[in-house]
Chains A and B, each alone.
Chain A
Amino acid sequence: TQLLEQSPQFLSIQEGENLTVYCNSSSVFSSLQWYRQEPGEGPVLLVTVVTGGEVKKLKRLTFQFGDARKDSSLHITAAQPGDTGLYLCAGADAGTEKDNRKLIWGLGTSLAVNP
């Protein structure tokens, strides 16, 4: 069974601090996605990383895909209260096309940024 482990599970920081959250697996993924979910809403896609070693930036958020495509990290610079939410990673199986239709989801990192 494929698993995606996210760490830390919970994170509470002050506005202006930097943070990194991790998404790790023993399996190889063809691509990996990061989502943010705010209370009472559905997850919203932030980014998709595809190539091993790929780095993508979205304003103050930096996403990296591991060289072996088994792990990923999300780094937030100078966190703001608006960054508060549940950050989820999801991997697409590197197997068959049918497998790609079923994403493997992590349990998420719940981030609270205090003013």
Chain B
Amino acid sequence: NAGVTQTPKFQVLKTGQSMTLQCAQDMNHEYMSWYRQDPGMGLRLIHYSVGAGITDQGEVPNGYNVSRSTTEDFPLRLLSAAPSQTSVYFCASSRDPPYNEQFFGPGTRLTVL
């Protein structure tokens, strides 16, 4: 099993550009989440999904869109990149409640100029 995979590993964008961060998992997990990690702020939940076709907002959803058409894939879209979105982005999947144990991907380091 590859676990959770993310692409790209690194990305540089200019302000106003859009892009999609890809995330896929092969563990048949129903739950998937997107986090951003910033120094001094820790891990913050952007969006999450409890199954195909179902998504919900996390703590910091503004400026990001998600969709979940399949169990395996959960892409994160930046609509119009801003310097404040410079961060490391992690996708994670988990089996089920109540523990919600997270399996993380390797991350995407995004810089917005």
Contact = CB atoms under 8 A, between A and B. Distances in A.
A42 to B, nearest CB: 3
B31 interface: yes
Given A42-B106, A105-B42, 19 more contacts: A30-B98, A31-B99, A33-B102, A42-B4, A42-B92, A42-B104, A43-B102, A43-B104, A45-B102, A88-B42, A90-B102, A92-B97, A92-B98, A101-B50, A102-B48, A102-B59, A103-B100, A106-B42, A108-B42
Contacts of A90: 43, 102
B13 interface: no
Contact of B42 (A41, A44, A45, A107): A107
A-B CB proximity, top 7 nearest: A42-B104, A107-B42, A105-B43, A100-B97, A100-B98, A31-B99, A105-B42
Contacts of A13: none
Contacts of B44: 105
A110 to B, nearest CB: 11
A30 B92 CA distance: 20
Nearest to A44: B104
Interface in B70-113: 90, 92, 97-107
A43 to B, nearest CB: 5
Given A31-B98, A33-B101, A92-B100, A107 B40 contact: yes
A103 B98 CA distance: 11
A28 to B, nearest CB: 13
A101 B31 contact: yes
A97 B102 contact: no
Given A101-B48, A105-B43, A106-B42, A45 B101 contact: yes
A96 to B, nearest CB: 10
B52 interface: no
B61 interface: no
Contacts of B42: 88, 105-108
Contacts of B4: 42
A97 B97 contact: yes
A21 to B, nearest CB: 15
Contacts of A30: 98
